């Protein structure tokens, strides 16, 4: 128990000898330096330095009796005050710490060209997914599709199905066809949608199939969050 007490005092900012001295003074009450040295086994050459440090930290005070200083420990309630003061200081710097954490989060932009490269990007994205994770897609308009891209999208669809992802697809209303999809959830909107955008986890992939297929992968928690919120707002008013 004594060791635990000393350890706790050290965690609150006292060194080992200061902890021993304070704990001992709580037992002794008002005491002269000789009595403190005898009880603590701290050399007399060090005791004044330790007592001065404890006084500066608010753990010890003294009174003079017959021209001799008698030292006494402060009320242990001071420990709670120290903890509250530390909590207050932590709260003051917390906004700055959180901002540093936010700014340190990984952000990157990468560009890929060619069907093989694009398939590898989506394959990696889905491979790292967990069952039922939300996977959002702004569809490519039908007039911008080709046999090549349809085959590519079917392969991606099968990969998503294997992972049992929660896929939501938004399409333009002019391509409305009343049908049910077992592989995804589909809704239509009159809103002029951005095309070929996938939002998953903290990543956004922008797909283009003009001439040579290419994709831009943006890894950014903030950007992905903004696009996800935009998508889901449209989703709530879109037609099934």
pLDDT band at 205 (very low <50, low <70, confident <90, very high): very high
Tallying the residues shown for the chain, one arrives at: 240
Average pLDDT over all residues of the chain: 83
**In contact, 61 and 29? CB cutoff 8 Å:** no
Q: What is the pLDDT of residue 226?
A: 92
User: In percent, how much of the chain has pLDDT > 90?
Assistant: 11
Residue ranges making up the domain that contains 110: 105-237
Residues whose CB falls within 8 Å of the CB of residue 66, separated by 6 or more in sequence, listed in order? none
DSSP string, 150-168: HHHHHHHHHHHHHHT-EEE
Q: What is the pLDDT of residue 67?
A: 86
Q: What is the pLDDT of residue 181?
A: 57
d(CA 227, CA 220): 11
What's the rounded mean pLDDT across residues 115-124?
84
d(CA 150, CA 143): 12
Residue 99 lies in a domain: no
114 and 57 fall within a common domain: no
Residue 96 lies in a domain: no
What are the strands, taking DSSP E only, across the chain? Answer: 60-65, 68-73, 108-113, 134-138, 166-172, 185-189, 197-200, 203-208, 214-219
Asked whether the predicted pLDDT for residue 177 surpasses 70, the reply is no
Residue 31 lies in a domain: yes
d(CA 230, CA 236): 10
Grouping H, G, I as helix, E, B as strand and the rest as coil, residue 239 is strand
Over residues 217-237, the pLDDT tens digits come to: 998 888 899 999 999 998 888
pLDDT band at 199 (very low <50, low <70, confident <90, very high): very high
- What's 202's domain CATH number? 3.30.870.10
d(CA 200, CA 121): 12
pLDDT band at 178 (very low <50, low <70, confident <90, very high): low
Q: Is the dihedral of CA 26, 30, 32, 38 positive or negative?
A: negative
Element (H or E) spanning 7, and its range? helix 2-11
Over residues 94-105, the pLDDT tens digits come to: 888 777 766 666
71 and 7 fall within a common domain: yes
Residue 204 lies in a domain: yes
150 and 205 fall within a common domain: yes
60 and 117 fall within a common domain: no
Q: Is the dihedral of CA 31, 35, 41, 44 positive or negative?
A: positive
What's the rounded mean pLDDT across residues 185-196?
82
Over residues 123-149, the pLDDT tens digits come to: 888 888 888 889 999 887 654 566 777
Residues whose CB falls within 8 Å of the CB of residue 205, separated by 6 or more in sequence, listed in order? 121, 122, 125, 197, 198, 215, 216, 217, 218
Residue with tokens 């906004």, as numbered in its chain: 95
Q: What is the pLDDT of residue 149?
A: 72
User: In percent, how much of the chain has pLDDT > 70?
Assistant: 91
**In contact, 88 and 82? CB cutoff 8 Å:** no
pLDDT band at 176 (very low <50, low <70, confident <90, very high): low
Residue 82 lies in a domain: no
**Most distant CA atoms of the chain, gap in Å:** 103
Over residues 75-93, the pLDDT tens digits come to: 888 888 888 888 888 888 8
CB atoms within 10 A of CB 15: 12
What is the CA angle 154-156-162, rounded to 5?
105
Over residues 39-65, the pLDDT tens digits come to: 889 998 899 999 998 898 888 988 888
């Amino acid at each position: 128990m004594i060791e635990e007490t000393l350890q706790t005092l050290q965690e609150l900012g006292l060194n080992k000898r200061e902890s021993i001295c304070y704990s001992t003074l709580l037992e002794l009450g008002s005491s002269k330096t000789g009595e403190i040295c005898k009880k603590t086994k701290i050399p007399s050459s060090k005791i004044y330095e330790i007592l001065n440090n404890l006084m500066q930290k608010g753990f010890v005070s003294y009174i003079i009796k017959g021209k001799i200083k008698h030292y006494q420990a402060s009320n242990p309630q001071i420990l709670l005050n120290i903890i509250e003061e530390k909590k207050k200081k932590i709260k003051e710097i917390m906004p700055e710490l959180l901002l540093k954490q936010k700014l340190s989060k990984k952000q990157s932009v990468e560009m890929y060209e060619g069907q093989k490269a694009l398939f590898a990007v989506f394959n990696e994205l889905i491979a790292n997914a967990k069952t039922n994770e939300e996977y959002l897609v702004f569809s490519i308009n039908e007039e911008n599709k080709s046999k090549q891209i349809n085959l590519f999208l079917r392969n991606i669809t099968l990969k998503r199905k294997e992972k049992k992802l929660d896929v939501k697809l938004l399409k333009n209303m002019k391509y409305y066809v009343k049908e049910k999809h077992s592989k995804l959830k589909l809704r239509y909107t009159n809103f002029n949608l951005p095309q070929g955008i996938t939002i998953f986890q903290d990543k956004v992939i922008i797909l283009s199939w003009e001439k040579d297929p290419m994709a831009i992968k943006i890894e950014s928690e903030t950007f992905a969050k903004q696009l996800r919120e935009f998508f889901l707002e449209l989703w709530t008013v879109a037609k099934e």
